[in-house]
Structure 1
Amino acid sequence: MTKDEMDKVATFAASRGKLMSLAYRMLGSRAEAEDVVQDAWLKWHLADAGTVRTPAAWLTTITVRLAIDRLRHLRMERQSRATGWLPEPWLDGIAPSAEDEALRSSAMSYGLLLLLERLTPDERAAFVLHEAFDCDYADIARMIGKSVANCRQIVHRAKLRLQREGDGRRADRKPEPVVDPSAHAQVVERLRAAIEAQDRAQLLRLFTEDAVVLGDAEEVDAGAAIASARWVDQVSSSVHAAGAVTINGMSGVALLSANGAITGLVDVAGVSDGRIVWLCVVSSAGNLREVNATWGARAVMRLLKRIGRAEPVMC
């Protein structure tokens, strides 16, 4: 490998965490984000690095444009599905990767990631770049190929649309006040404990009367008490255990089968007065494939076997 090739590899490696985090927020899928970042690497590998004044900005621009193109195709595919679709959750690692660190530094809750699905690809790109990565409008304009004034208007319009969509998800109720992380974590822990104990009565008490439950594996009736009661009955009869996890930087719950496989990830996306108003349940095999590969029982067993084979350290 030549020095120029090694420099290219090093430059890309330094930006990869940010690119992965950006692509994930744009696409709502870790696998899709990895594909986009791989495509960005191929373009960088073929580019004449000598003509690129700011490699990090060049890579960010390429990634944004690839993600916008990919999102346009994905929106059509997701809208045509018979079942629901939810973003793929991102679980924090015990030993955070560069992607995990980049995700934390530009934190967006899972609930907000879900609302971003309502935006057009250009709106989503501009909003994510401005709100999560603190890019100014001149940089955003260069990346998405629009004027500065247009980008400012796009972000403003996206904020209004997200506010409208967020307010409307609860049957035109007023928006709930922002809940601090500790209060949110307490509600999540009560939910986890009730699931673990299979306490149906306590589970039902955790939901407001007009709570909304969204799922990705099947059509979930967003009919207030009916939806929450139906989900409570399902989780009470099928879940073997429930563990605490961190989903997109916030407390969540992992539903476990008897063999230790993760069968669902539960995100409490809305809370009011200590009760759940909006719940997201990710349980499709596709969205849980990466999670189980990293955190499921089989992954843990593989890790234990590697540890068991390791040579003892001599002091």
Structure 2
Amino acid sequence: MDSAAVDRFEAGRGRLASLAYRLLGSAADAEDAVQDTFLRWQAADRERIAVPEAWLTRVVTRLCLDRLRSAQARHERAVGDWLPEPLLEGDPMLGPADTFEQRESVSLAVLTLMERLSPVERAAYVLREAFSYPHAEIAGILGITESASQQHVHRARRRIAAARRGGAEVDPASARRVVEEFLAAAVSGRVERLVALLTDDVTAVSDGAGLARRLLRYGTRERVASYVRAGFRPTPAKRRLAGGTPVLHVALVNGSPAVLAVVDDRVVGAVAFEVRDGRVASLCGIAAAHRLARLDELWRRHEADAPVIGTW
């Protein structure tokens, strides 16, 4: 393959990776899908490809659909052990973020909700909302009719909107202030203040410090507050598990504020928050090393703000 063909692919690699990440919710799987797309580009009769961008988009999308439909993926995602892989702000895999729809489509909350969609609904939704493809092009990419594309996007929007309970965009600075106040209450043990900072319909999910076989889920303000207080209470056992004494930073993860526990410049845990109307509507706690690998890699190259809690 000549250098021009390689350059043409590399020019679109970031867009392909961002598309694949939104479809799969995993940076590692997205990178694999992009690499498989490159191999197909390498083997293709490129002189017969009229519009390379459209061809590459179709290939990576269909590779992602194959992964979502595979028996292994169905099993992993059906038993409730799946969480999106969090990405640190500035990661190019987050992709376009010019509109509210683009930013929302890569949030951990929406990536999780998209698990309720069929693979084709998910692909049509992402292509339309995040990348603004017209329905005629979506139909060509997915091998469906234009009217079917419109129906898939409509159903996906309706199902996500219903689950989001009217969620709207929140000013990042305001959301950060809520999370910092929430963190201070959690570390100090002020459970009543924690409860007051939670919405009535709050939910929380955790991978149990990376040790649980199944995801842990919590509902009601009192149960979530109890889970948070227990999780943020420092103990010698937690420090041993973390490999040292963490410092706590607040950073943006997938466009939302998150608390990162960092030991020797290594991210050992993350709690991502969704803030609505000045209160916390959902939390997602992640500590499994394989889910944090890419975030940790970028964090090591990231010039972080001072920790909000320097001794935990």
User: For this structure pair, what is the TM-score category when the shorter chain's length is used for normalisation?
Assistant: 0.7 to 0.9
Equivalent residues in 2 for 1:95-110 (5 A)? 97=92, 99=93, 102-105=95-98, 106-107=102-103, 108=105, 109-110=107-108
8 Å CA contact retained: 1:213, 1:228: no
Q: RMSD in angstroms over aligned alpha carbons?
A: 2.3
8 Å CA contact retained: 1:104, 1:249: no
- Residue equivalent to 1:160: 158
8 Å CA contact retained: 1:245, 1:254: yes
Identity of aligned residues (%): 34
8 Å CA contact retained: 1:242, 1:255: yes
1:191 corresponds, among 182, 189, 214, to 182
- Residue equivalent to 2:120: 122
Equivalent residues in 2 for 1:77-116 (5 A)? 77-81=75-79, 84-93=81-90, 97=92, 99=93, 102-105=95-98, 106-107=102-103, 108=105, 109-116=107-114
Q: Alpha-carbon deviation of 1:252?
A: 2.1
8 Å CA contact retained: 2:24, 2:30: yes
1:76 and 2:69 are equivalent in the alignment: no
- Residue equivalent to 1:271: 276
- Residue equivalent to 1:289: 293
- Residue equivalent to 2:40: 43
- Give CA deviations for 1:167-191 in whole Å, capped at 9, x if unaligned: 3xxxxxxx45553333223212323
- Residue equivalent to 1:200: 189
1:249 and 2:255 are equivalent in the alignment: yes
8 Å CA contact retained: 1:254, 1:266: yes
- What TM-score do you get using the length of structure 1 for normalisation? 0.80
- Give CA deviations for 1:207-241 in whole Å, capped at 9, x if unaligned: 24542111234432423121331232122224732
Where do 5+ consecutive residues of structure 1 fail to align?
Answer: 168-174, 301-315
Q: 1:155 to 1:249 in 2, by over 3 A?
A: same
Q: Alpha-carbon deviation of 1:77?
A: 3.0
- Residue equivalent to 1:306: none
1:31 corresponds, among 4, 23, 28, to 28
- Residue equivalent to 2:135: 137
1:222 and 2:218 are equivalent in the alignment: yes
8 Å CA contact retained: 2:206, 2:217: no
Total equivalences in the alignment: 279
- Once the two structures are overlaid, the 10-residue window that deviates more, 203-212 or 280-289, is 203-212
8 Å CA contact retained: 1:263, 1:283: yes
Q: Which amino acid aligns with 1:200?
A: G
2:171 corresponds, among 174, 180, 183, to 180
Where do 5+ consecutive residues of structure 2 fail to align?
Answer: 240-245, 303-312
Q: 1:176 to 1:15 in 2, by over 3 A?
A: closer
1:280 and 2:284 are equivalent in the alignment: yes
Runs (4 or more) in structure 1 with deviation over 6 Å come to none
Q: Alpha-carbon deviation of 1:12?
A: 0.3
Q: Alpha-carbon deviation of 1:19?
A: 0.1
Q: Which amino acid aligns with 1:291?
A: L
Q: Alpha-carbon deviation of 1:165?
A: 2.7
1:233 and 2:193 are equivalent in the alignment: no
Q: Which amino acid aligns with 1:228?
A: A
